[in-house]
Structure 1
């Protein structure tokens, strides 16, 4: 039996979860339809998801249609949870993008479609809610072509849209000449044989059209467009037929074992469970495996673990029979306590570290209402962050915990999770927009052993790409554990540059090293490396950059002047204006801190008809005095203050604090 891993993606409230429920019902997996409003759906199984009526975590369900096993991933629609969508994209064979026939194409839908097209992921577009008041069908197709992609191919029409009697009528190229001709015209752009038949005015062959449709969908060149209603069920049989016959199945198995972790949750007993999608080989319970991880700095690390339980999604074998996870399938796996999202089991192949969505740009400090629960709060946030790689945490200067967020909905969900799962009442402070620092020049620093530190470290820093760490000293000049301590502490210290912001696009070269045996420990280098790094960075100087957003604003023809004038006054750079069917499309960039203000004023400036969408726009240098971010590492630019900071036990968890005098006879200090 063929297998396909299919994602349901959409803007919030388009009806993804209701469609998932209908697909499971139509294929006999469930005997009763659940309701999002009532909190009785299969895939929104978290209490917070049920209460709020939104999907927060990707969920997996399985059904069979014809000779195909479909593993269905229902993903969040709210933009605050794009990290979940990103993880799902990495393991999908195809996707169904759901739109609402009432709301039409929404900004988040456009963002997702851009990514699906860039990945050339085979995608069906399903327009839901055709039976709702205000629903559009034929009138919506031009909007889909204009706002999503011109490469959509309608596979049917809708009768009585916007009424309870709305039905979907599929085209039948086999006996409908007009339908066959329209499909052939849409596919001829990528098919010379069909194009030649059209030029010669030959009747298109239905089998040839079906073959061309499957080929071009698999290549991501065209996207079939279907209509229906998850509530009434109309159009769902045709969607299932397209899933079974138009979308490609999982690719052939790779020769070597490989599986990727795309979700982590805790089962009712509290045990950590990872979801894996396999690409090759076999994985079984009680098997020891190696997990590979690509860090933000590009380095790949490996850890070992043992699978204690493995349940293949949709498996039909008897519970007592041993089950293996094979290529194309998904399994729930327990026992891998150290595994994280994005890890790959068996092989590091394909760990490219790409990110399709921007990282969160708001940092907020969260504190417990009861001060005595500060440590418990920090531990809970670290535990939550273990299932969300974008939710980074750090201890704030005043003892609170800062987290990176996408927006208000994510903050509200975190607050509810902390209360209901961990029993902690928490309060979030205002968000701080994240900036970055880059070195402005070259700087050097050297600290010789015996002047307050039991080690020698010298650095040279200069502009680079990403974080590039190098050594000019011989690798054998220090024990390997000391080199590891220096590099790890250096990379961690880059979270706070001269102005407190993360540092990027930097090349760091270790120029000097030395130690005093047997006094020096790895902990001493963890204390010393950040101090020397900051001295070198201060010598180089840094520039602070603020995030920008690249935007598109579509406005009526008579509102072009007022909107562009306002955007220019606000601080945006307008790059171009294009004449489109609905008026004008304005493109440009503006500081991320001003985007909400622009969105808030656009309806008034455009008579309520403006449409705004945006994506990452890189960053630009801050003009004037750069903002500062509160430091959590003491003050490494002031030697005395930094040493006082290190003298506090809570600030040196991995260092040996007192080696004031050699015990017995020590070797002379070694230099490298």
Structure 2
């Protein structure tokens, strides 16, 4: 009689969504390529210089040698105890002009690897990224690349990391032959009691029982478990050294990913997910990248997506999944923790969510604070240009557009490199050559008081409008966005008329008293009425802007300008000169702090002044000064308020607005 076959427990494969982040030229894409090659996903190593990397697949990315769009690739780590780990690598841009791509990636990750250069060290963008990672408590490993380059550093770079990024770091490897082509690493072992004591002392800062043992000189046998726990909580960061080019240290990094990072547990059984990227096929069909947090998605399933518009209102759209591909897992279904590529959803946009719109972590980068007016180089192509920019905005919702008059369109931007990339995409993908005017800061308005206005139909007198609309506007706390409420009874008007009023309010607030978008404003509809049969929904769309801006004029509005939080690092003998420069640029400064041989000067500065600071700083500091900056708090404009040309016919001027409506009606005929 044959012996029974022993039963085997099949441990399911887990999925970890891992972001790779870095400043420009730290070697982030090269590291991604190395990990994919070492674990069998690709058969040959590509290179950034050669333009044949796995994740930088776009023509512009290959030619410029930078990552512009987030991309997803995968590899598998073997683990007979916990089960194999599929790692979905999300390669993100390093250039600050594409920080919106990084923001979207952070919202779907389980962990991150922050890459630094052993030569250049901590850069301004490194600090921006690390601050965001720590604020989100996203589990993060550090990888110091380029140990085989001349000028590579170890001990003083660790000191720099502890000083400028976080003191809570654990060096996991020892580097041999630093700064040579033969540079390599040796993993440090927890069996080494000195290393275990070093780790235990660091972990004790967040573990009171462990602190008591450390004080008593009792080093626990197992410090790997507590290190994993605190790493997963975003409290401590293991540091690895290596070279993506030679492969030194990348195996140790992969082992650290397996040992110290963990997939995020599903929050519930409900269907929840986030669209973090949108691509188009050669035929123009949208492909949405969806990170699923909980639930299951099947092919042919109908889904309901939610998004917030510029005013904060929640919109919904529905669609049926025509095609589904699970990253690393074939045709589906898509389960919690996985990333899927969905087709057949023509209305989908980046940022759309399944389930409640406040699920999952969100990053805290500010929206673009620069604006450029774009015109077609050849007359008569304004409509094509606007349509092309609108299509690009489907992939990047922070590229907001508005009609600027004269066939031009205004676009919100982060910087000059992003502007150049958009111009190239317009030409290559849509055949439209565009001319960008110089960028300027994007100001905005906030109401400063309470105001009311009403237009009431008079059956016995002359009327420009045969409708009644009353509006009250009031300020809200900064950061609240805009709200819309009805005090007038819903049944007084057909639903289509109420929708027309609400849509007109949203549109009107895009151009306040000075032409800038209005935010942090509560709008209440206090009165409504109409004369039948002389009314259609368009009449309320025409009248509402007059009343809303009339109420805002009574309340008053203040123009605010965007700003940056800055920290300027300068040698001691240049402190006085740099402080004077900052004050001349209208900066608000905090107390300077001495940090070794340099001084750190914190403050906030108007966005319009940052370029002047960057230009003047090297001359005042013999090239030794540096600037860290990130979008910071806005402040009320000091002096005369800047204005922007109106494109709404100017409802603030009764006669001018009526002529605008009349001309538009004639044009429609």
TM (normalized to structure 2)?
A: 0.94
Query: What residue is the counterpart of 2:454 in the other structure?
Result: 446
Which residue in the other structure is 1:373 paired with? 381
**Matches of 1:323 and 1:353, distance apart in 2:** 25
Residues 28 and 652 (structure 1), Cα distance of their counterparts in 2 relative to 1, 3 Å cut: farther
* 1:150-189 correspondence runs (5 A): 150-174=167-191, 176-189=192-205
Establish whether residue 570 from structure 1 lines up as the match of residue 585 from structure 2: yes
**Deviation readout 1:230-253 (Å, 9 max, x if unpaired):** 000000000000111111123136
The CA distance in 1 between the partners of 2:49 and 2:549, in whole Å, is 54
Quote the RMSD (CA, aligned, Å): 1.7
Q: Which residue pairs with 2:73 in the alignment?
A: 61
Does 2:327 correspond to 1:313? Answer: yes
Deviation at 1:559, TM superposition (A): 2.3
Contact preservation (8 Å) 2:272, 2:359: no
Residue of structure 1 aligned with 2:339, choices 330, 334, 345? 330
Which residue, 310, 314, 336 being the options, matches 1:296? 310
- Name the SS for the 1:612 alignment partner: strand
1:611: Cα distance to partner? 2.1
Q: C-alpha displacement at 1:127, in angstroms?
A: 0.7
- Alignment of 1:14 onto 2:31: no
Rounded to whole Å, the distance in 1 between the matches of 2:172 and 2:264 is 24
Q: What is the CA distance between 1:353 and its match in structure 2? A: 10
For residues 352 and 123 of structure 1, the distance between their equivalents in structure 2, rounded to whole angstroms, comes to 17
Alignment pair present for 1:198 and 2:239 = no
CA contact (8 A) 1:2 1:250 kept: no
Of residues 510, 517, 523, the one that matches 1:502 is 517
Q: Alignment partner for residue 26 of structure 1, among 38, 43, 63?
A: 38
Per the alignment, residue 382 of structure 1 pairs with: 390
Q: Is the 8 A contact 2:106 2:363 kept in 1?
A: no
Q: Does structure 2 retain, via aligned residues, the 8 Å contact 1:293–1:351?
A: no
- Name the CA distance, whole Å, in 1 between partners of 2:43 and 2:142: 27
Tell me which of 147, 151, 165 is aligned to 2:164.
147
Deviation at 1:331, TM superposition (A): 0.4
The match for 2:348 among 323, 328, 339 is: 339
C-alpha distance 461-142 of structure 1, shift in aligned 2 (>3 A): same
| Matching residue of 1:218 | 232
Q: 2:644 aligns with which of 629, 650, 668?
A: 629
- In structure 1, how many angstroms separate the alpha carbons of the residues matched to 2:174 and 2:596? 22
Residue 440 of structure 2 aligns with which residue? 432
Indicate if the aligned counterparts of 1:3 and 1:329 stay in contact, CA closer than 8 A: yes
522-531 or 43-52, which moves further after superposition? 522-531
1:615 shift after superposition: 2.0
Matches of 1:422 and 1:594 in 2, distance apart? Answer: 35
* Structural mapping, 1:470-619, within 5 Å: 470-619=485-634
1:49 equivalent in alignment to 2:66: no
Matching residue of 1:272: 286
Change (3 A) 1:167 1:355: closer
Name the stretch that deviates more: 377-386 or 347-356: 347-356
Gaps of 5+ in 2: 1-12, 79-83
User: CA 1:258 to 1:61, structure 2 compared with 1: closer, same or farther past 3 Å?
Assistant: same
| Aligned counterpart, 2:114 | 97
Question: Distance between the aligned counterparts of 2:665 and 2:88, measured in 1?
Answer: 47
Aligned residues: 645
**CA distance 1:352–1:295, change in 2 (3 Å):** farther
**Residue 355 and residue 279 in structure 1: after superposition, are their counterparts in 2 closer, same or farther (change >3 A)?**
closer
Taking structure 1 as the reference length, the TM-score comes to 0.93
- Which residue of structure 2 aligns with residue 667 of structure 1? none
The residue that corresponds to 1:285 in the other structure is 299
In 2, Cα distance between equivalents of 1:604 and 1:212: 49
Pairing partner for 1:258 from 260, 266, 272: 272
Q: Which consecutive unaligned segments of at least 5 residues does structure 1 have?
A: 658-672
1:662 counterpart residue number? none
Q: CA deviation at 1:565?
A: 2.3
State the 1:203 CA deviation: 4.2
Deviation, structure 1 residue 51: 0.6
Cα distance per residue 1:556-578 (max 9 Å; x no partner) = 23322222122223322221111
2:155 alignment partner, SS class? coil
Matched, 1:464 2:476: yes
Helix, strand or coil: the match of 1:194?
helix
| Distance in structure 2 (CA, Å) of the matches to 1:410 and 1:83 | 11
State the distance in 2 between where 1:352 and 1:505 align: 25
Distance in 1, Cα, partners of 2:19 & 2:494: 48
Partners of 2:132 and 2:363 within 8 A in 1: no
* Worse-superposed segment, 572-581 or 408-417: 572-581
